[in-house]
Amino acid sequence: MKKFKDVIGFHGHACPGLALGYRVALCALSKLGDRAADEEIVAIVENNSCAVDAIQVVTGCTFGKGNLIFRDYGKQVYTFLRRPSQSRKAKTIHGIRISVKWKPHEETSREKTMWDRYMKGDRSDEVLETVHQRKSKKIKAILNARDEELFMVKKERVPLPKEAEILPSITCERCGEKVMESKAKVRAGKFVCMPCFNKKK
């Protein structure tokens, strides 16, 4: 099982969003079983925040494998499902929907003041120290909270997403770059890539 430090190693810094994503991922695996070496688990994420990096590292649902589906809703909601082992003709499948409900503790007046100063561009030592401590406190609180304090979890039937396809590439007749056949368009009788198709001239 991946540790929080593995997640920081991938993401580049520790932050509350990453900690939440880490907890979401652990919760998902506790219900669905082992991490996805291949495409056996699919994650549908409804935001593109720091949290999603933790989800990729821990669950093995990654952008590159195509088992991470991004819906740009700006919601802290994550749905996970495990693909059936045999290719049954199921159109829908039971997934786990995890919705983050966690709220940070009330801030002290010093924290509020320092945060205001930080937002106005103050980078003095006293401001940075308080801001840093405030962040560490949040991360710690998230890592130590119980699942029930962090999320609402429910089972839900979701449409079974298509598996990633590997299709042949062709060469765009305008820019000369390779493009996956299924993404090519026809413009003035030529096979072109999408950016070339959309160009004004």
Question: DSSP letter at 121?
Answer: T
**Contact residue for Zn ion among 15, 36, 43, 81 (CB under 5 A):** 15
2 or 82, CB closer to Zn ion?
Answer: 2
7 makes contact with Zn ion (CB under 5 A): no
State the SS3 of 30-66: HHHCCCCCCCCEEEEECCCCHHHHHHHHHHCCCCCCC
57 or 172, CB closer to Zn ion?
Answer: 172
Three-class DSSP category at 26: helix
**Interface pattern 24-63 for Zn ion (x via CB under 5 A):** --------------------------x-------------
Alpha-carbon span 22 to 29, nearest angstrom: 11
Binding segment (CB under 5 A) for Zn ion, from list 25-33, 40-48, 122-130, 171-179: 171-179
CB 113 within 8 A of CB 97: no
Question: DSSP letter at 182?
Answer: G
196 makes contact with Zn ion (CB under 5 A): yes
**Contact residue for Zn ion among 128, 175, 180, 186 (CB under 5 A):** 175
Site residues (vs Zn ion, CB under 5 A)? 15, 18, 50, 172, 174-175, 193, 196
